[in-house]
Amino acid sequence: MRNLAVPEPLREKLADAASASLMDMFADAHTIATESFERRLGQEVSALRLDIANLRADLLKWSFLFWIGQLAAVAGLISLLLRTVN
């Protein structure tokens, strides 16, 4: 990020002390905005990680249910085939 400076015409009207104060004010505002953004970003990332964790748990649960259903179907077919052979 490049350093900002008060333009010469404005510096002449405000004087050096006021120009320095103006730059300090903008630097403080930038710091506050950056901290607020980082805090909000951290909150959103935390919420996203929680959603992903919940999604993974649901996906695992449905996978097990699918596997159990497939196992029951295969077991039923094998049982039916063994009955018809005998």
Write out pLDDT tens, residues 6-26: 777 887 888 888 888 888 888
Beta strands in 1-86 (DSSP E): none
- Contact between 22 and 6 under an 8 Å Cβ cutoff? The reply is yes
How many CA atoms within 13 Å lie on the side-chain side of 43? 6
Neighbours of 56 (CB within 10 A): 10
Contact between 23 and 6 (Cβ < 8 Å): yes
CB neighbour list of residue 67: distance below 8 Å, 6 or more residues apart? none
CA distance 38 to 30: 12
What is the reported pTM?
0.54
Residue range 45-82, pLDDT digits in tens: 999 999 999 999 899 999 999 999 999 999 999 999 99
